[in-house]
Amino acid sequence: MDDRGYSLRIVRANEQADSSNIGVLLGRLCIKKEIPVVEVAQFFDVSRMTIYNWFCGQGRPRKQMEEKIKEVIQKLGDA
């Protein structure tokens, strides 16, 4: 497992991104909880680049993915 954590560039981009984007909110929680991008990508069955784009607000998850993301955000927020 890669334990390097998130780069400062990713953390800053996430902090500056629009929090109305559900992918950005997911990113904030994953960064806070130190959940590796590779695990998030595998869970959602998308590429790591897709996850980075979500986290930085450069892309939005597809509508059919939003419910699953909301569930994950709820669970991470409660943990």
Q: How many domains does the chain have?
A: 1
What are the structure tokens assigned to 37, written together? 């991008």
Q: What is the domain extent for residue 24?
A: 8-78
Q: Is residue 37 part of a domain?
A: yes
pLDDT for residue 79: 64
Q: Is residue 1 part of a domain?
A: no
Separation in Å, CA 32 to CA 20, 45, 77: 18, 22, 10
pLDDT for residue 78: 79
| Claim: this prediction has a pTM higher than 0.85 | yes
Query: What does each of the 79 residues of the chain score in pLDDT, given as a tens digit?
Result: 455 689 999 999 999 999 999 999 999 999 999 999 999 999 999 999 999 999 999 999 999 899 999 999 999 887 6
pLDDT for residue 1: 45
> Which amino acid is present at 1?
M
Backbone angles phi, psi at 9, to 5 degrees: -60, -45
